[in-house]
Amino acid sequence: MYRLEIILTVVFILSFFIIPGFVIHAEYMYKAVKKVGAVLICYIIGVIIGNSGIFPSVSGDYNEILKELGTPFIPLDSIKEMFESGEILRSDVTRNTISFIQDKLTAISVLLALPLILFSMDVRKWFSQAGHAMTSLAIGLFTVLLMIFVGYWIFKGSIEDIGNVAGLLVGVYTGGTPNMAAIKTALGISNEIYIMTHTYEMLIGAIYLVFIFSVGQKVFLWFLPAYKSTETGDIKVKEMDIQNEFESYEGIFKKNTILPLLGAFGLSVFILGFSFIVGGLFPEDYTTTAIVLLVTSLGIAFSFVPRVKKIKKTFQLGMYIILIFCLSVASMADIKKLADISMPLFYYVGLAMFGSHILHAFIAKFFKIDADTVIISGSALICSPPFVPVVAASLKNREIIMTGLAVGIAGYAVGNFLGVLVAGILNSGI
């Protein structure tokens, strides 16, 4: 039985690297698959994998320990001691190893992909969009805060510890899960409230992403102007340009492409390693922010190096790694946790997410900000910077990646401060 569990774990790891290749091939072969999109398909496959029951079952004691820790897995050094002392079972150790791999693969894949994606960016052209990016950031932060305050007054009395829940929502909708986790620690929020809030946020976030990946752009174009390309001046980059430069993997294994591309991958690994070393010098609450800033900054810096910028298919390789991220993060979603749903909390999270984005779009109309910029800015704040390339891919517009990253990273920088501040204000009874 233990040998079978090891085999399943190895197959599980390999599947995350192989499945995106099959999805991309299917997207190339079948128009119906292409319309759905590789990103959404990988999310669906990931959810199926994570909830299919193929992973080893865990004991009640293991689940209780996870609840106490408030983490997706038990540290590997601790779990060895727990197993040897008889606190947990062998199957718990195997499942914990899988959870560890899921968590680390999710974090590392995104940070490894970002430099590869940024190598192909033309930063100089992005500066022509900087004004709209900062305006959209200001609008996004304002609408998130407004909806969270409105939700507080609507659901006050029906949600336990709602002031601290508001702080969590500010963190997750300005900087993502890292900020949310930091605010939990800063405010001493219970594991139960944190886990339930985060579970609802992930579920509603999945619904939000399905909307964005499917009809979101068309809906926003009903009342917002279309994006004008800085490359062509046209409303959209030509479809042929998108297919050749943005989507096509054709010729990626040719010798004159694959060798320089491996060099670019090695450079991305170096950037990631260097960023982790330097980021580790910062206080723990700011480590993640520092790492993301360093990875992004170095990716941008190397995009100015002609020898790096001219390497073909760096964007495609980066997006392949993003598909690995989609699989791994989706496989971590446990739909069983929604059995004891708290409807007021569920509605509060939904209001914070969808309410802020709708209001963001409404205000953006008066500033004449285009639909793609509003979508990428809202997605960067709601889903965090790692999702920016994913959303940009669904919009078939890589020119907005820098805008999304700028907004998302600014959210990382201010999210913890805003979350603690809002919780303090609301907990004071104002």
Q: Report pLDDT digits (tens) over 44-53.
A: 888 788 777 7
Burial (Cβ within 10 Å: 0-12, 13-18, ≥19) of residue 414: middle
**Residues 184 and 70: beta-carbon distance below 8 Å:** yes
C-alpha angle 286-287-293 in degrees, rounded to nearest 5: 90
- The pLDDT value recorded for residue 244 is 46
C-alpha angle 294-300-305 in degrees, rounded to nearest 5: 125
- The pLDDT value recorded for residue 295 is 85
Of 287 and 181, the structure prediction assigns the larger pLDDT to 287
| pLDDT tens-digit map of 361-400 | 899 889 888 889 889 988 888 876 667 877 887 888 877 8
Amino acid in the structure at residue 66: L
Q: With 90 as the cut, is the pLDDT of residue 149 above it?
A: yes
Q: With 70 as the cut, is the pLDDT of residue 336 above it?
A: no
3-class DSSP string for 265-325: HHHHHHHHHHHHHHHCCCCHHHHHHHHHHHHHHHHHHHHCCHHHHCCCCHHHHHHHHHHHH
- The pLDDT value recorded for residue 236 is 42
- The pLDDT value recorded for residue 143 is 93
Of 72 and 298, the structure prediction assigns the larger pLDDT to 298
Euclidean distance between CA atoms 257 and 326, whole angstroms? 26
Q: With 90 as the cut, is the pLDDT of residue 135 above it?
A: no
Q: What share of the chain has pLDDT > 70, as a percent?
A: 85
| Cα separation values, 29 from 22, 25, 427, Å | 10, 6, 56
- The pLDDT value recorded for residue 230 is 57
Amino acid in the structure at residue 355: G
| Cα separation values, 41 from 13, 23, 32, 334, 400, Å | 18, 7, 11, 18, 23
Q: With 90 as the cut, is the pLDDT of residue 335 above it?
A: no
Q: How many alpha carbons lie under 13 Å from residue 420 in its C-beta half-sphere?
A: 13
- The pLDDT value recorded for residue 146 is 95
Q: With 50 as the cut, is the pLDDT of residue 234 above it?
A: no
Of 179 and 272, the structure prediction assigns the larger pLDDT to 272
Q: With 60 as the cut, is the pLDDT of residue 246 above it?
A: no
Burial 340-365, CB ≥16 within 10 A → b, else e: eebebbbbbbbbbbbbbbebbbebbe
Q: With 80 as the cut, is the pLDDT of residue 150 above it?
A: yes
- The pLDDT value recorded for residue 151 is 95
Q: What share of the chain has pLDDT > 90, as a percent?
A: 16
**Residues 180 and 148: beta-carbon distance below 8 Å:** no
Q: With 50 as the cut, is the pLDDT of residue 304 above it?
A: yes
| pLDDT tens-digit map of 151-179 | 999 999 888 889 999 999 998 888 776 67
Three-state DSSP at 253 gives coil
Q: How many alpha carbons lie under 13 Å from residue 163 in its C-beta half-sphere?
A: 13
pLDDT band at 235 (very low <50, low <70, confident <90, very high): very low
3-class DSSP string for 26-92: HHHHCHHHHHHCHHHHHHHHHHHHHHCCCCCCCCHHHHHHHHHHCCCCCCHHHHHHHHHCCCCCHHH
- The pLDDT value recorded for residue 339 is 56
